[in-house]
A and B are shown apart, each in its own frame.
Chain A
Amino acid sequence: MEQLEKLENQSIFIIREAYRQFRSVAMLWSIGKDSTALLWLIRKAFYGRIPFPIMHLDTTYKFKEIYEFRDKYAKEWGLDLLVYKNEKAIEDEVGPSKRKFECCTELKTNALKEAILKNKFKAIYLGIRRDEHGIRAKERFFSPRDEDFEWNYKEQPPELWDQFKSKAKNEEHIRVHPLLGWRELDIWEYIKKENIPIAGLYFAKDGKRYRSIGCQTCCEPVDSSADTIDKIIEELKTTTVSERSGRAQDKESAYTMQKLRSLGYM
């Protein structure tokens, strides 16, 4: 079997297993390449009719192209689209220029908390991958979060020999990660193979392209001339730049820098 087929089979197995186990589930769609690939797999797993909602956490700082892409394909694929905003935080003017450290927590984490509570979701599908970030390497396919949303990564169920712990206690919810074993390159090869539509921001324009997309305010394009999927695949085979290098530096450093600057220590 080919690598991509193996990955696809495993992901679809996990997607179906989670739905069978929890029923009350939703998928988190950031409209980026990974979660769009995940959405594609979910459509395949349920033969085009997804039996649960697809959720978008709208921070209101996303790219225009992302909103357009979302609305176009939500309609075309007949998705049950749920858009969640933390209205209160937005009203309080939490944003990337003001109160930056709280921004992601309020606009993403707390919006998700609210959505889970309100809809009583037991499990959420996410398109994260182990090779994205050091801490994500520690993730499981079925990853429990307690009522405070805490992830106790030191005490997770082992997933040996492809045995997944797909049960959850009452007070917790489970994050389901069907793409955990995929690499960035696998995602692009799969997009090519399946001809999955993908946001235009990923393709080079004037020598720059986005490799990882979040909020417009906190991500930068990287230098690249890859304006087709083939060229992106070629680029990924040789690049030494990390996938998330265009994302704003980690929040703790940004916060520390701001504190030091305000006292003239930097």
Chain B
Amino acid sequence: MKKRVIIIGLDGVPYELIRDLSEKGIMPNVTKLLSRSSFRKMRSSIPEVSCVAWSSIITGKNPAEHGIFGFTDLCANSYKLRFPDFNDLKSRPFWENSLVKSVVINVPSTYPARPMNGIHISGFVSIEIKKSVYPSTLVPVLESIDYRLDVDSDKAHKSMDLFLEDLEKALGARIKTYEYLWDKIDWEIFMLVFTETDRLMHFLWNAYLDTEHKYHQDFLKCFKKIDNVIGDILSKIKESDSLIMLSDHGFEKLECDVYINWLLKENTFLDWTVGEEAGLENINSSTKAFALDPARIYVNTNVRFPRGSIKDWDKDKVLRDLESLFTGLTINGRKVIKSICRKEQIYSGPYLEVGPDLILLGNTGFNLRASLQSQGITGKGIFTGKHTQDNGFLILADAGGEINIPEYPSVCDFTSIINGLNN
């Protein structure tokens, strides 16, 4: 008989937070789990956003192979933004590649749901419940337990109390769904992702750091609830089952936003027609480069863009100028950019061409944003936490000696680990 594999994803949860909350007794079941597991820091994708990272986790491929470079992308030969979805993913997720029966709940970037061997409820950004669920016979059941596709993060911009109330409902419904589906079909892989963690950390990372904070206990409550689920799962699994927990990226305190397009405009890399609103569709042919969120830089080449002016033979010069601009960027005496990646260095595959030319990673606390509308190089919004690339986590329990996991795995290593377990 094949081994069953249970995968629990905690979106955005950093290695250090798991360690901290388990040591403090907030997550006792995780502590129990860690005592019989390998516990590793895991590298996220570049850029370190959920859509790219989860796409790599479920396919084992890098963005130039799976085609997802960010939450937004550009229409062909255009400056028009589009929103890639599950149908833009160019590689198959592991549950479509095998005959293994799976239950997959709330994996980001898997909307719209499509037929598979098992049950699939898609995650962020899911729009309509009807298109988020396979098989569709499950829709009325989910509606009856008030299933939420996502927390309504708009609420946090108005009232943190309302946001937390909504978050609790979303988390509660997610848990009910897991309970309902656990025994529903005879699965071999059960994957459940909690995205409430990421939402919470965006708005209330400060409440985690500050034990006196009004919402400190609310922050911990979410993790306690998730720990209860882990305890519940531990009590249900058989000896032959394997349990994996992971996150897609880490989190840290956000000191300030840094607006890349503002920097490009100030340094004459980016320009739009006078009188026109700031918008990518209004940039003109004197533009040498522009950015998409979070910090993906595209050179405005004549082969790729309608008002592109940079010739192939000048592209490398532009890239070098950009690199020296970013390397030299300091705010309050601190270097802003940690690393500047050319796409050829970090990606390889058939879709390399459509990827951004440079991807930037910020130093601690600097939240890189594209933003065309900003009035200066820095700003600070409502968010108190930001994503990190180097400290996601991976916990692999009960694997015995058979599975070799790298010392410092990356999101792309995940599928080979489950394949190893499931065989």
Contact = CB atoms under 8 A, between A and B. Distances in A.
Contacts of A263: 153, 199, 202
Contact of B154 (A252, A257, A262, A264): A262
A253 B83 CA distance: 7
Interface string A250-266: 00110111111011111
B72 A262 contact: no
Instruction: Give the secondary structure class of A's interface.
Output: helix
Nearest to B386: A264
A255 B111 CA distance: 13
A101 interface: yes
Contact of A256 (B83, B199, B293, B383): B83
Contacts of B305: none
B271 interface: no
Nearest to B149: A259
A266 B199 contact: no
Instruction: Give the secondary structure class of B's interface.
Output: loop
B3 interface: no
Please tell me the size bucket of the interface on A. 10 to 19
Contacts of B72: 260, 266
B127 A264 contact: no
B79 interface: no
Contacts of A256: 83, 125, 127
Interface string A65-101: 0000000000000000000000000000000000001
Contacts, number: 39
A265 B127 contact: no
Interface in B123-152: 124-125, 127, 150
Interface in B277-302: 293-294
Contact of A258 (B154, B202, B367, B381): B154
A157 B49 CA distance: 45
A264 to B, nearest CB: 5
B74 to A, nearest CB: 14
A253 to B, nearest CB: 6
A145 to B, nearest CB: 16
A258 B125 CA distance: 10
Nearest to A266: B293
Contacts of A265: 49, 71, 293-294
Contacts of B153: 259, 262-263
Contacts of B154: 258, 262
B202 A264 contact: yes
Contacts of B199: 263
Contacts of A101: 127
B152 to A, nearest CB: 8
A259 B156 contact: no
Interface in A190-238: none
Contact of B71 (A255, A258, A262, A266): A266
Please tell me the size bucket of the interface on B. 20 to 34
A101 B125 CA distance: 14
B383 A264 contact: yes
Contacts of B202: 263-264
B307 interface: no
Contacts of B32: none
B369 interface: yes
A251 B211 CA distance: 42
A259 B150 contact: yes
Nearest to A101: B127
A258 B153 CA distance: 10
B213 interface: no
A264 B150 contact: no
B157 interface: yes
A257 B71 CA distance: 9
Nearest to B371: A266
Given A262-B157, A263-B199, A264-B383, A252 B71 contact: no
A255 B127 CA distance: 7
Given A265-B293, A266-B293, A259 B125 contact: yes
Nearest to B157: A262
A255 B202 CA distance: 20
A222 to B, nearest CB: 15
A253 B127 CA distance: 10
Contact of A262 (B82, B156, B293, B367): B156
Interface string B111-128: 000000000000011010
Best-surrounded residue of B127, B150, B367 (most CB of chain A within 10 A): B127
Contacts of B156: 262
A207 to B, nearest CB: 14
Nearest to A251: B127
B1 to A, nearest CB: 39
Contacts of B157: 262
A255 B83 CA distance: 11
B52 to A, nearest CB: 11
Contact of B124 (A252, A253, A258, A259): A259
B83 A264 contact: no
A171 to B, nearest CB: 19
Contacts of B150: 259
A254 B71 CA distance: 13
Contacts of A266: 71-72, 293
A93 to B, nearest CB: 15
Contacts of A258: 154
The 5 closest A-B pairs by CB, nearest first: A262-B153, A256-B83, A262-B154, A256-B125, A265-B71
25 contacts: A101-B127, A252-B83, A253-B82, A253-B83, A255-B125, A255-B127, A256-B83, A256-B127, A259-B125, A260-B71, A260-B72, A260-B125, A262-B154, A262-B156, A262-B157, A263-B153, A263-B199, A263-B202, A264-B202, A264-B381, A265-B71, A265-B293, A266-B71, A266-B72, A266-B293
Interface of B: 49, 71-72, 82-83, 124-125, 127, 150, 153-154, 156-157, 199, 202, 293-294, 367, 369, 381, 383
